[in-house]
Every structure is written in structure tokens, then in C-alpha cells.
């Protein structure tokens, strides 16, 4: 007498199917909730190098992250604003000039990531900023 093949799903098949389904759901969640950092690929500014010779770095673009300490000027807002930013890595304060065309509301104590260009005067001109 010939034996018939057993039909139906075995428990190992159900476990494999559940693992595959979980992996697909997890991958979909990661793909939908990923964010891109526009500051990726920009060199971080070395505070020590900047404090030693800021003019040697002029014209270069860097990334800094820090907390806005205070406004340093009494310029008209249409000319831009100069802030001191406490950099996280060393606790040093750096001068950061925010041009008027950025039109952002910067307040003391807020943490930002800045894309800056070193001017010939040694001041850091903000090209882009993100609230951290």
C-alpha cells in the first residue's frame, strides 16, 4: 500500500513565514522613517586650529555644532547678526555671523548645527543652519 504525502503547513514553515513578514515590516518602517542629514560630508571645524590661526582657514567651509550664547553686536538686523556660539567639543566660544538673508529666529540657549565659511577676518559666516 502506497503512502500519501502529508499536506498542510508544518510549524517550521509558519515560523519562517512570520520571521519573513517581521523583517519586511521592519525594513518598510526604516525606509519610511529615515532622515537625511544635509550636513553629511562637511568637515568638522577644529576649534584648536581655528583659535590658533583663523585667517589661515579663510575661504574653507566647515561644520560646527554648539549652543548660542549671546548676541555680540548692535548692528541693524538687515545687515545680519553676530553671535557667540559655545562649541560642544572644547567649550570654546566662536564668533558666528548670520546674514540677514537666512531669516531665522535665533535665541540664546538654542542648540544648532551650522555650515560655516571662514571669512578673511576670521569670523564664521553661516551658510546653513539646523536646529539640533
Q: Which domains does the chain have, with CATH numbers?
A: 47-131 (2.40.50.140)
Confidence of residue 132 (pLDDT cuts 50, 70, 90): confident
Q: What is the pLDDT of residues 25-45, one digit of tens each?
A: 988 888 887 766 667 788 899
pLDDT attached to residue 63: 93
Handedness of CA 45, 125, 112, 50 (dihedral sign): positive
Q: What is the mean pLDDT of the segment spanning 74-88?
A: 81
Q: Please state, as a whole number, how many other Cβ atoms lie within 10 Å of the Cβ of residue 106.
A: 17
Amino acid at each position: 500500500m502506497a503512502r500519501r504525502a502529508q499536506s498542510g503547513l508544518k510549524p517550521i514553515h509558519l515560523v519562517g513565514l512570520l520571521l519573513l513578514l517581521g523583517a519586511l515590516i521592519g525594513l518598510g518602517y526604516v525606509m519610511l522613517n529615515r532622515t537625511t542629514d544635509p550636513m553629511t560630508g562637511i568637515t568638522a571645524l577644529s576649534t584648536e586650529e581655528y583659535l590658533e590661526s583663523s585667517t589661515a582657514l579663510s575661504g574653507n567651509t566647515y561644520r560646527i555644532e554648539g549652543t548660542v550664547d549671546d548676541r555680540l553686536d548692535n548692528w541693524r538686523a538687515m545687515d545680519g547678526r553676530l553671535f557667540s556660539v559655545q562649541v560642544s567639543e572644547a567649550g570654546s566660544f566662536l564668533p558666528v555671523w548670520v546674514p540677514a538673508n537666512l531669516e531665522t529666529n535665533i535665541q540664546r540657549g538654542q542648540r544648532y548645527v551650522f555650515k560655516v565659511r571662514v571669512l578673511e577676518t576670521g569670523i564664521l559666516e553661516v551658510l546653513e543652519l539646523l536646529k539640533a
